[in-house]
Amino acid sequence: MKNIFLSGSFGMVGHNILDAFNGSSYNLFHPGRTELDLLDKNAVDTYFQFHKPDIVIHCAGKVGGIHANIAEPAYFLIDNMRMGLNLAEAAQKNNIRYFLNLGSSCMYPAHSQGLLTEDMILSGSLETTNEGYAIAKCAITRLCSYISRQFSGFHYKTIIPCNLYGKYDKFDPARSHMIASIIRKIDEAIKFRIPEVEIWGDGQARREFMYAGDLAQLVRMAVENFDDLPPVMNAGIGHDYTVDEYYQIIGRLFGYKGKFTHNLSKPSGMRRILLDVSLQLKFGFMPEHSLEAGIRETYEWYKTL
Q: What pLDDT, in 10s, does the model give residues 177-205?
A: 899 999 999 999 999 999 999 999 999 99
DSSP three-state, residue 86: helix
DSSP three-state, residue 40: coil
Active centre residues (catalytic)? 133
Q: How far apart are CA 174 and CA 3, in angstroms?
A: 36
Q: Assess whether pLDDT exceeds 90 at residue 175.
A: no
- Over residues 269-280, mean pLDDT: 92
Q: Are 36 and 47 in contact (CB under 8 A)?
A: yes
Which amino acid, 237?
I
* pLDDT on residue 111: 87
Q: Are strands 241-242 and 206-207 parallel, antiparallel or unpaired?
A: antiparallel
**pLDDT-wise least confident of 55-64, 130-139, 167-176, 239-248:** 167-176
DSSP 134-193: HHHHHHHHHHHHHHHHHSTT-EEEEEEE-EEE-TT----TTT--HHHHHHHHHHHHHHTT
Q: Output the CA torsion sign for 89, 131, 176, 291.
A: negative
Which residues, 6 or more positions from 158, have their beta carbon under 8 angstroms from its beta carbon? 100, 101, 102, 103, 140, 141, 144, 145, 231, 232, 233
CA distances from 206 to 103, 108, 114, 233, 244 (A): 20, 15, 12, 21, 9
Percentage of residues in the chain having pLDDT higher than 90:
90
Q: What are phi and psi of 263, to 5 degrees?
A: -100, 100
Q: How far apart are CA 212 and CA 14, in angstroms?
A: 9
* pLDDT on residue 176: 83
Which residues, 6 or more positions from 61, have their beta carbon under 8 angstroms from its beta carbon? 8, 11, 79, 80, 83, 133
CA distances from 141 to 76, 115, 165, 277 (A): 16, 20, 22, 18
Average pLDDT, whole number, for the chain? 96
- Over residues 245-259, mean pLDDT: 98
**pLDDT band (50, 70, 90) for residue 283:** very high
Q: What pLDDT, in 10s, does the model give residues 123-134?
A: 999 999 899 999
Q: Are 159 and 99 in contact (CB under 8 A)?
A: no
Write the DSSP symbol of residue 84.
H
Which amino acid, 156?
Y
* pLDDT on residue 64: 76
Q: Assess whether pLDDT exceeds 80 at residue 66.
A: no
Q: What pLDDT, in 10s, does the model give residues 212-235?
A: 999 999 999 999 999 999 999 999
* pLDDT on residue 138: 98
Q: Assess whether pLDDT exceeds 90 at residue 271.
A: no
Q: What pLDDT, in 10s, does the model give residues 32-45?
A: 999 999 999 999 99
* pLDDT on residue 177: 85
